[in-house]
Amino acid sequence: MYIKPFEVEEWMNAWETGAKYNIAETCVDSVSLDQLFELTGENKEKFLNALSAKRLTYGDIAGQPAFKEGVCALYRTIRPEQVVPTHGASGANHHVFLSLLSPGDSVVSVMPTYQQLYSIPESLGAEVSILRLRREDGYLPDLGELRRLAGRGVKMICVNNPNNPTGALMDARMLEEIADIARSAGAWVLCDEAYRHLTPGEEWSESMADIYEKGISVSGMSKVFSLAGLRLGWIASRDESVIKSCHSHRDYNLISCGMLDESVAALALKHGEKLLERNRSIVSENLEILDEWVSGEPLVDYVKPRGGTTALIRYGADMPSYEFCEAMYKETGAFVTPGDCFGEPRCFRIGYACGKETLKNGLRAVSGFLRALRAM
């Protein structure tokens, strides 16, 4: 089966390890187990002793109950039996497509977004129509255009909220309108919600799985909870046919997730509000730093993110984004992601939820590179 190269992941794999200032990373500043116990107040010795005593079997095939209960707390309507654990949110997206799509099916996906949402359906033989998110619309979908595309007998609509790479955020009203469009076509809506809950303040972030009876939410422990090393995600849906199909395919390619991973994730989700408080604070403070930098840097501009951890920065240099990002990396050590990975030329994606000093130093390095280009 042919699939297009995953441009953003290939870029990250090639350059991330040696970066001096990694401001391409999209997770909120990762935590260690020691930090997790400190944040949650749980008894570290008691937990680790209990974990060490476990026999390393397959564990709970359908997912550890405590983990699934923790996931349900992130939704209004989802029950434990409506959660399918997966290997990361990326594994969840892949699993949904593999479980529900067939050659010839009609799919609509937004772009820019995480490439999985259009390249995997295409590789499975689906007919994929792209709904371009435009800068002048704040990178929010044109619902009139979506309605037109969905009128072609669409089987699945794929969106990403908050959006990666732009940080655009669809509110509840827009999600409901998308659900109405999908409902009229009898289509599923897959919403990649890997950055959900990372919004300013403490307002509740709505999920497509709560709003729409055929909504499918995908998320994980990596971005929002700073635990990418667990490689643990999930699919959540109230559509019984979705859950049944995902479990059926899971028997072939997954069987179960790691019992150690699910135990740590259950602990984190038990204290989810504490982790969210920490991570929202990081996102909020770092976005102020980024916004001040953009305002004071004459060769860049952006649509300010409203959620998530990423921003799409447009630069004024006459240089393709791959060339720009590679040259800057080699000259300054500042590591960002080319906009062309997302079909957005003359841009780069920045992940601003890293350590504060890394962000500040990385932005200074970007400014230095821009000044050098301007002087040429």
CATH number of the domain at 141, please: 3.40.640.10
Whether residues 109 and 142 fall in one domain: yes
Whether residues 187 and 207 fall in one domain: yes
What confidence score (pLDDT) does residue 215 get?
Answer: 98
Beta-carbon count within 10 A of 20 CB: 13
CATH number of the domain at 334, please: 3.90.1150.10
Peptide bond just before 162 cis, omega within 30 deg: yes
CA distance 246 to 143: 29
Of all helices (H) and strands (E), which one includes residue 300? strand 300-302
What confidence score (pLDDT) does residue 363 get?
Answer: 98
Domain assignment of residue 86, given as a range: 44-270
Beta-carbon count within 10 A of 369 CB: 21
Residues of the chain with pLDDT under 50: none
| Whether the Cβ atoms of residue 197 and residue 206 lie closer than 8 Å to each other | no
What confidence score (pLDDT) does residue 304 get?
Answer: 98
CA distance 318 to 346: 8
In sequence order, the 6+-apart residues with CB closer than 8 A to the CB of 321 are 338, 339, 340, 341, 344, 345, 346, 347, 348
Would you say residue 113 lies in a domain?
yes
Please tell me the number of Cα atoms within 13 Å of 279 on its side-chain side.
30
In sequence order, the 6+-apart residues with CB closer than 8 A to the CB of 158 are 107, 108, 109, 110, 113, 117, 118, 121, 189, 190, 192
What confidence score (pLDDT) does residue 182 get?
Answer: 98
What confidence score (pLDDT) does residue 152 get?
Answer: 80
Would you say residue 235 lies in a domain?
yes
Would you say residue 37 lies in a domain?
no
Peptide bond just before 112 cis, omega within 30 deg: yes
Whether residues 297 and 351 fall in one domain: yes
Whether residues 247 and 293 fall in one domain: no
CA distance 327 to 322: 8
What confidence score (pLDDT) does residue 218 get?
Answer: 98
CA distance 344 to 296: 23
Beta-carbon count within 10 A of 152 CB: 11
Whether residues 157 and 28 fall in one domain: no
Within its chain, how far is the Cα of 2 from the centroid?
24
Structure tokens at 231: 């490689």
Q: What's the structural domain count of the chain?
A: 2
